[in-house]
Structures are given as structure tokens and as C-alpha cells.
Amino acid sequence: MKMAHSLVTETPLAEMPRVEEDFALARRFMLDCQLTPNGITDPLLLGAMGEIPREAFVPEALRARVYADDAVPLGEGRTLLAPMVLAKMIQLALVQPGERALVLAAGTGYGAAVLARMGLIVTGVESEAGFVEAARQAVDFALEGNRPTLVEGDAKAGQPAGAPYRVILIEGAVESLPRELASQLGEGGRLVVILRRRGEPGRIVMLRKLGGGLTEVVGPDAVGPLLPDFAPPPGFVF
């Protein structure tokens, strides 16, 4: 994997001070000025995002950018999603502690870490081996107790061995809803992703499995990278 900046070859996370005043203040600003004024009300979600150091999930050169209201590009079609985008996705998923969750295109593991901190049992799947190693390092630094399991694999295939899941979170945008992944949802399960059809703005969409069928809930606008893992075959026309 080619990354402009590597988490695993720079200053070890273990050598970073666990509490840095500037980052702590930035997290508080993120909550008070980005999330809560824009409808993020879930106390578990706010608590998790207020405690987990986002700076641990990006290379050292990018740490100053992680609390801005914008995504941070990581390479290979992955970004650290903007705080507001990730928060809206998780809030739309209606997650509850103890639920089994699957995070696809997990990148460096921040979304999986947030869900784990909220008390979910989380598996993260990432196709790029370098990101998997970086994610494991980051969650070991950032979390105590419940941590996500992070594995290398094809995000589009999900993780059938761990099914059924109550929540599937895809950390990025797709051009068509991956309804085939609904087979890995249990009854009442929710799949949340950014849908970005050609020529249209991105929207957060939730698929919910009810009575064996799928209902679709369209959420707010959102910006996220089109994930290479979910790219349609060449020549495919929507």
C-alpha cells in the first residue's frame, strides 16, 4: 500500500502524551461548535467522540487537521470522515450498546473505535494491509477495555462468518446501495452508507431489514470518498 504518510513508521503512538491540552480543547470545540448545534444528541456518541483522540488515527503530519469540519485524506481512496459526517451516520444507525456491528472500509479504525467506545461489539474490515496495522496500533493506544477486532479483507464481501449484525457501517461513499450485504443483517438490522449517484450530491442512507425485506431511510447530505472496493464493474451503467 502506498501512503503519503505512514502511521506505522513515524513517532510511535505510545510516545505521544496521552493527554495534550490543545487536542483536548479541539475535541471540546468539535462537540460544542460542530456536533451539538447540528442535531447530534446521542449522549453515548458525543461521549465517545469527546474522549477518543482522533489525532491517533492519522499520520503525524496530518494531526493538526483532524478536528476541522472536513475529511482528512489518507490515500488509497480512504479518508478520516469529517466529524459531522461520521456522527450523522452513526446517529442515523440508532446504535445500542451490546449490538454486533460491522465496519467496512474501516481505514485506520476511527469509526470502529467510536462504536466500540459506545459499547458495541465491533468487527472492522479493511482491504489495505497497511491500514489494518495502523488501525490496530491506533485503537490499542486510544481505547481501554472493549476494542474492535480489525481484519484484512474485501469490504464489499463483508464478513459473513460473524453475521448476523445489527449494524453495518460503510465508511465512505458508493454509487449504488450494496443490498447484497443485507444478508448479513439480522432482523431489525441497519446498514448505513453515503450514497453518491453520478451527478447527484452525496446523501446518508440507511437500509433497515424488517420482515425479510428492506426499507430505505434517506438522511442528510454528506461528503465522502467513493470507495474503490465498491466501484461498479467497468462498463456498468446506472
Report the side by side order of strands in the sheet with 121-126: 149-152, 121-126, 100-104, 165-174, 185-195, 203-210, 213-221
Predicted TM-score (pTM) above 0.85? yes
Mean pLDDT, rounded, of the chain: 90
Amino acid letter at 79? T
DSSP string, 95-147: --TT-EEEEES-TTSHHHHHHHHTT-EEEEEES-HHHHHHHHHHHHHH-SSS-
Read off the pLDDT band of 87 (50, 70, 90).
very high
Average the pLDDT over 106-123 and give the result.
Answer: 98
pLDDT for position 4: 39
188-218: pLDDT as tens digits: 999 999 999 887 889 999 999 999 899 999 9
Domains of the chain in start order, with CATH, are 18-230 (3.40.50.150)
Answer whether residue 238 shows pLDDT above 60: no
For 200, other C-beta atoms within 10 Å of its C-beta total 9
pLDDT for position 235: 58
CA distances in angstroms from 208 to 105, 164, 187, 216, listed in the order given: 20, 13, 8, 6
Burial class (CB in 10 A: 0-12, 13-18, 19+), 158: buried
